[in-house]
Protein backbone atom coordinates (compact mmCIF):
# COMPACT_ATOMS: atom_id res chain seq x y z
CA UNK A 1 0.00 0.00 0.00
CA UNK A 2 1.33 3.42 -0.87
CA UNK A 3 2.05 5.57 2.14
CA UNK A 4 -0.13 8.56 1.34
CA UNK A 5 -3.78 9.35 1.39
CA UNK A 6 -4.22 10.68 -2.09
CA UNK A 7 -4.07 7.75 -4.49
CA UNK A 8 -6.80 5.20 -5.04
CA UNK A 9 -7.19 4.61 -1.33
CA UNK A 10 -10.26 5.62 0.60
CA UNK A 11 -9.96 8.37 3.14
CA UNK A 12 -12.97 8.08 5.34
CA UNK A 13 -13.98 11.07 7.36
CA UNK A 14 -16.92 12.99 8.67
CA UNK A 15 -18.24 16.47 8.98
CA UNK A 16 -20.46 17.41 11.89
CA UNK A 17 -22.81 20.36 11.56
CA UNK A 18 -22.68 22.00 14.98
CA UNK A 19 -25.62 24.22 14.13
CA UNK A 20 -27.78 21.11 13.73
CA UNK A 21 -26.46 19.23 16.76
CA UNK A 22 -28.92 19.51 19.66
CA UNK A 23 -26.69 17.67 22.13
CA UNK A 24 -29.26 14.87 22.49
CA UNK A 25 -26.55 12.22 22.93
CA UNK A 26 -28.02 9.72 20.44
CA UNK A 27 -24.62 9.41 18.80
CA UNK A 28 -23.06 8.47 22.15
CA UNK A 29 -25.71 5.90 22.94
CA UNK A 30 -25.68 4.31 19.49
CA UNK A 31 -21.89 4.19 19.56
CA UNK A 32 -21.80 2.42 22.91
CA UNK A 33 -24.45 -0.04 21.83
CA UNK A 34 -22.91 -0.72 18.42
CA UNK A 35 -19.39 -1.20 19.70
CA UNK A 36 -20.04 -3.05 22.95
CA UNK A 37 -18.57 -0.20 24.97
CA UNK A 38 -18.57 -1.18 28.65
CA UNK A 39 -19.97 1.08 31.35
CA UNK A 40 -19.72 1.29 35.10
CA UNK A 41 -22.39 1.09 37.77
CA UNK A 42 -21.46 4.59 38.81
CA UNK A 43 -20.68 6.78 35.81
CA UNK A 44 -20.37 10.03 37.77
CA UNK A 45 -16.59 10.26 37.23
CA UNK A 46 -16.37 11.07 33.53
CA UNK A 47 -12.60 10.86 33.54
CA UNK A 48 -12.51 7.11 33.87
CA UNK A 49 -15.61 6.12 31.93
CA UNK A 50 -15.46 5.12 28.29
CA UNK A 51 -17.23 7.23 25.69
CA UNK A 52 -15.80 6.71 22.21
CA UNK A 53 -18.08 9.51 21.11
CA UNK A 54 -18.28 12.32 23.63
CA UNK A 55 -20.42 15.44 23.31
CA UNK A 56 -18.82 18.60 24.70
CA UNK A 57 -20.82 21.67 25.57
CA UNK A 58 -19.46 24.98 24.28
CA UNK A 59 -20.61 28.44 25.31
CA UNK A 60 -19.85 31.84 23.93
CA UNK A 61 -18.98 32.99 27.43
CA UNK A 62 -21.52 35.80 27.43
CA UNK A 63 -24.10 36.35 30.13
CA UNK A 64 -27.86 36.27 29.69
CA UNK A 65 -29.52 37.23 27.40
CA UNK A 66 -26.60 36.94 24.97
CA UNK A 67 -25.63 33.43 26.05
CA UNK A 68 -25.33 30.93 23.25
CA UNK A 69 -24.42 27.30 23.48
CA UNK A 70 -23.34 24.68 21.00
CA UNK A 71 -22.65 20.98 21.33
CA UNK A 72 -19.57 19.41 19.85
CA UNK A 73 -19.54 15.62 19.36
CA UNK A 74 -16.00 14.30 19.46
CA UNK A 75 -15.20 10.86 18.10
CA UNK A 76 -11.60 9.76 17.44
CA UNK A 77 -10.31 12.24 14.91
CA UNK A 78 -8.46 9.56 12.91
CA UNK A 79 -5.53 11.89 12.44
CA UNK A 80 -3.36 11.56 9.37
CA UNK A 81 -0.48 13.01 11.37
CA UNK A 82 2.02 15.69 10.39
CA UNK A 83 1.97 16.10 6.62
CA UNK A 84 -0.84 13.50 6.49
CA UNK A 85 1.74 10.73 6.19
CA UNK A 86 -0.04 8.44 8.62
CA UNK A 87 2.17 9.23 11.61
CA UNK A 88 -0.77 10.09 13.85
CA UNK A 89 0.16 11.38 17.32
CA UNK A 90 -0.90 8.05 18.83
CA UNK A 91 0.27 5.64 16.12
CA UNK A 92 3.78 7.02 16.03
CA UNK A 93 4.28 6.58 19.78
CA UNK A 94 2.79 3.13 20.37
CA UNK A 95 5.78 0.96 21.32
CA UNK A 96 4.18 -2.38 20.41
CA UNK A 97 2.56 -1.48 17.10
CA UNK A 98 -0.82 -1.98 18.77
CA UNK A 99 -2.38 0.95 16.98
CA UNK A 100 -2.01 1.29 13.28
CA UNK A 101 -2.81 3.71 10.48
CA UNK A 102 -4.72 2.16 7.57
CA UNK A 103 -3.28 3.69 4.43
CA UNK A 104 -6.15 2.10 2.50
CA UNK A 105 -8.88 3.73 4.60
CA UNK A 106 -7.28 6.50 6.65
CA UNK A 107 -8.68 4.81 9.76
CA UNK A 108 -6.60 4.58 12.92
CA UNK A 109 -7.12 1.10 14.33
CA UNK A 110 -6.56 -0.34 17.77
CA UNK A 111 -5.39 -3.96 18.07
CA UNK A 112 -6.84 -4.97 21.42
CA UNK A 113 -4.92 -8.21 21.77
CA UNK A 114 -1.64 -6.43 21.04
CA UNK A 115 -2.05 -3.48 23.41
CA UNK A 116 -0.33 -4.00 26.74
CA UNK A 117 -1.69 -0.88 28.34
CA UNK A 118 1.24 1.54 28.55
CA UNK A 119 -1.14 4.43 27.76
CA UNK A 120 1.47 6.48 25.87
CA UNK A 121 -1.09 6.91 23.06
CA UNK A 122 -3.52 8.48 25.53
CA UNK A 123 -0.91 10.98 26.60
CA UNK A 124 -0.11 11.82 22.99
CA UNK A 125 -3.74 12.39 21.92
CA UNK A 126 -4.79 16.01 22.45
CA UNK A 127 -8.46 15.15 21.89
CA UNK A 128 -8.80 12.69 24.80
CA UNK A 129 -10.29 10.28 22.29
CA UNK A 130 -8.53 7.28 23.78
CA UNK A 131 -9.86 5.41 26.78
CA UNK A 132 -8.35 2.90 29.11
CA UNK A 133 -10.23 -0.11 30.48
CA UNK A 134 -9.64 0.50 34.15
CA UNK A 135 -12.06 -2.35 34.98
CA UNK A 136 -13.09 -5.61 33.43
CA UNK A 137 -16.17 -5.07 31.29
CA UNK A 138 -19.38 -6.16 33.03
CA UNK A 139 -22.89 -6.04 31.67
CA UNK A 140 -26.09 -6.46 33.67
CA UNK A 141 -27.37 -10.02 33.61
CA UNK A 142 -28.94 -10.86 30.28
CA UNK A 143 -27.54 -7.82 28.54
CA UNK A 144 -24.56 -9.70 27.22
CA UNK A 145 -27.05 -11.39 24.85
CA UNK A 146 -27.57 -8.05 23.19
CA UNK A 147 -23.92 -7.43 22.47
CA UNK A 148 -22.95 -6.98 18.87
CA UNK A 149 -21.38 -10.17 17.51
CA UNK A 150 -19.31 -8.12 15.05
CA UNK A 151 -17.24 -6.29 17.63
CA UNK A 152 -15.01 -8.00 20.17
CA UNK A 153 -15.42 -6.78 23.75
CA UNK A 154 -12.22 -5.51 25.30
CA UNK A 155 -10.46 -6.74 28.36
CA UNK A 156 -9.19 -4.85 31.40
CA UNK A 157 -5.87 -3.06 31.07
CA UNK A 158 -5.92 -1.97 27.44
CA UNK A 159 -6.77 1.13 25.46
CA UNK A 160 -9.73 1.48 23.13
CA UNK A 161 -11.28 4.16 20.97
CA UNK A 162 -13.65 4.94 18.12
CA UNK A 163 -12.93 2.81 15.06
CA UNK A 164 -15.29 4.59 12.65
CA UNK A 165 -17.33 1.37 13.07
CA UNK A 166 -14.71 -0.56 11.19
CA UNK A 167 -16.84 -3.72 11.20
CA UNK A 168 -19.35 -1.83 9.07
CA UNK A 169 -16.55 -1.04 6.63
CA UNK A 170 -15.68 -4.72 6.50
CA UNK A 171 -19.32 -5.62 5.84
CA UNK A 172 -19.53 -2.99 3.09
CA UNK A 173 -16.33 -4.28 1.54
CA UNK A 174 -17.69 -7.82 1.58
CA UNK A 175 -20.86 -6.61 -0.06
CA UNK A 176 -18.95 -4.73 -2.74
CA UNK A 177 -16.83 -7.80 -3.38
CA UNK A 178 -19.95 -9.94 -3.65
CA UNK A 179 -21.35 -7.56 -6.23
CA UNK A 180 -18.16 -7.72 -8.22
CA UNK A 181 -16.86 -4.20 -7.60
CA UNK A 182 -14.57 -4.70 -4.66
CA UNK A 183 -12.78 -1.37 -5.10
CA UNK A 184 -15.87 0.77 -4.82
CA UNK A 185 -17.81 0.79 -1.62
CA UNK A 186 -21.08 2.67 -1.97
CA UNK A 187 -21.55 5.70 0.21
CA UNK A 188 -24.75 4.34 1.74
CA UNK A 189 -23.20 0.94 2.43
CA UNK A 190 -20.68 2.27 4.91
CA UNK A 191 -22.06 4.67 7.48
CA UNK A 192 -21.05 4.80 11.12
CA UNK A 193 -23.55 4.13 13.91
CA UNK A 194 -23.43 7.72 15.15
CA UNK A 195 -24.14 9.03 11.66
CA UNK A 196 -27.21 6.88 11.22
CA UNK A 197 -28.46 7.53 14.75
CA UNK A 198 -28.27 11.32 14.67
CA UNK A 199 -31.91 12.51 14.60
CA UNK A 200 -31.03 15.93 13.19
CA UNK A 201 -28.73 14.64 10.46
CA UNK A 202 -25.86 16.64 11.86
CA UNK A 203 -23.24 14.01 10.95
CA UNK A 204 -22.21 13.30 7.37
CA UNK A 205 -19.81 10.43 6.78
CA UNK A 206 -18.07 9.20 3.67
CA UNK A 207 -14.92 9.15 1.59
CA UNK A 208 -13.09 12.46 1.66
CA UNK A 209 -11.22 11.42 -1.49
CA UNK A 210 -14.39 10.85 -3.48
CA UNK A 211 -15.91 14.00 -5.02
CA UNK A 212 -19.23 12.20 -5.38
CA UNK A 213 -19.52 11.78 -1.62
CA UNK A 214 -21.45 14.37 0.34
CA UNK A 215 -18.70 14.74 2.93
CA UNK A 216 -16.25 15.71 0.19
CA UNK A 217 -18.72 18.22 -1.24
CA UNK A 218 -19.21 19.92 2.12
CA UNK A 219 -15.59 19.88 3.21
CA UNK A 220 -13.90 20.45 -0.16
CA UNK A 221 -10.56 19.27 1.30
CA UNK A 222 -7.44 20.86 -0.11
CA UNK A 223 -5.06 17.97 -0.87
CA UNK A 224 -2.04 20.30 -0.89
CA UNK A 225 -0.05 21.24 2.18
CA UNK A 226 -0.92 24.55 3.77
CA UNK A 227 1.69 27.01 2.38
CA UNK A 228 2.16 28.57 5.81
CA UNK A 229 2.33 25.33 7.76
CA UNK A 230 3.49 22.35 5.76
CA UNK A 231 2.36 19.94 8.45
CA UNK A 232 -1.26 20.82 7.69
CA UNK A 233 -2.84 18.97 4.76
CA UNK A 234 -6.48 18.50 3.83
CA UNK A 235 -7.63 21.88 5.09
CA UNK A 236 -11.20 22.65 4.17
CA UNK A 237 -11.85 25.15 1.39
CA UNK A 238 -15.26 25.82 2.89
CA UNK A 239 -14.90 28.91 5.09
CA UNK A 240 -17.49 27.59 7.53
CA UNK A 241 -15.67 24.32 8.07
CA UNK A 242 -12.84 23.81 10.56
CA UNK A 243 -10.97 21.03 12.34
CA UNK A 244 -10.09 20.76 16.02
CA UNK A 245 -6.58 21.98 16.83
CA UNK A 246 -5.68 22.15 13.17
CA UNK A 247 -2.56 24.19 13.85
CA UNK A 248 -0.92 21.28 15.67
CA UNK A 249 -0.64 19.46 12.36
CA UNK A 250 -2.49 16.36 13.53
CA UNK A 251 -4.65 16.47 10.37
CA UNK A 252 -7.88 15.01 11.70
CA UNK A 253 -10.46 13.48 9.36
CA UNK A 254 -13.31 14.83 11.45
CA UNK A 255 -14.45 18.27 10.32
CA UNK A 256 -16.93 20.61 11.96
CA UNK A 257 -19.31 23.02 10.29
CA UNK A 258 -20.86 26.12 11.81
CA UNK A 259 -22.22 29.43 10.59
CA UNK A 260 -21.41 30.93 13.98
CA UNK A 261 -18.05 32.63 14.27
CA UNK A 262 -17.65 32.07 18.01
CA UNK A 263 -18.11 28.34 17.50
CA UNK A 264 -15.49 28.17 14.75
CA UNK A 265 -13.13 30.17 16.92
CA UNK A 266 -13.31 27.47 19.60
CA UNK A 267 -11.77 24.97 17.23
CA UNK A 268 -8.27 26.21 17.87
CA UNK A 269 -6.07 28.55 19.88
CA UNK A 270 -5.27 31.99 18.57
CA UNK A 271 -2.97 34.67 19.88
CA UNK A 272 -4.31 38.17 20.23
CA UNK A 273 -5.34 39.56 16.85
CA UNK A 274 -4.75 36.33 14.93
CA UNK A 275 -8.40 35.37 14.66
CA UNK A 276 -9.40 38.75 13.26
CA UNK A 277 -6.83 38.34 10.52
CA UNK A 278 -8.02 34.93 9.40
CA UNK A 279 -11.69 34.77 10.34
CA UNK A 280 -13.00 36.26 7.11
CA UNK A 281 -10.97 34.09 4.86
CA UNK A 282 -10.70 31.05 7.07
CA UNK A 283 -10.59 28.07 4.80
CA UNK A 284 -9.13 29.88 1.85
CA UNK A 285 -5.96 31.27 3.36
CA UNK A 286 -3.93 29.37 5.86
CA UNK A 287 -3.04 30.32 9.34
CA UNK A 288 0.33 29.25 10.52
Contact footprint for other proteins (CB under 8 A): 45, 47-48, 56-58, 72, 82, 87, 89, 92-98, 114-120, 122-128, 130-136, 155-159, 244-245, 247-250, 266-271, 274, 288
Cα angle value 13/185/30 (rounded, 5°): 55
CB of 228 to other proteins, least distance (A): 10
Handedness of CA 74, 117, 93, 113 (dihedral sign): negative
123 or 199: CB nearest other proteins: 123
186 or 228: CB nearest other proteins: 228
CB of 87 to other proteins, least distance (A): 7
CB of 265 to other proteins, least distance (A): 8
Q: How far apart are CA 247 and CA 227, in angstroms?
A: 13
Phi-psi region of 35 (alpha: psi -120 to 50; beta: other; left: phi over 0): alpha
Q: In sequence order, which ranges of 64-141 are alpha helices (DSSP H)? A: 89-93, 120-124
128 or 224: CB nearest other proteins: 128
Indicate the SS3 state at residue 101.
strand
53 or 185: CB nearest other proteins: 53
> Cβ(23)–Cβ(71) under 8 Å?
yes
CB of 41 to other proteins, least distance (A): 13
159 or 219: CB nearest other proteins: 159
Q: In sequence order, which ranges of 49-135 are alpha helices (DSSP H)? A: 89-93, 120-124
Amino acid sequence: MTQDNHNNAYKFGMVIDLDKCTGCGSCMVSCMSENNVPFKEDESNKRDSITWMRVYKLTNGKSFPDTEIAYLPRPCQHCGGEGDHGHSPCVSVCPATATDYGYDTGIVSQIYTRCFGCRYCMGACPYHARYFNWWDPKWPEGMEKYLSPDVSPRMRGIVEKCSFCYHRYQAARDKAYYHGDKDHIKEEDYQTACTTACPSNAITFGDLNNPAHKVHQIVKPDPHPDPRNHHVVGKSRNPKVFRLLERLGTNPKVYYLSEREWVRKQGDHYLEGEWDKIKNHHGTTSHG
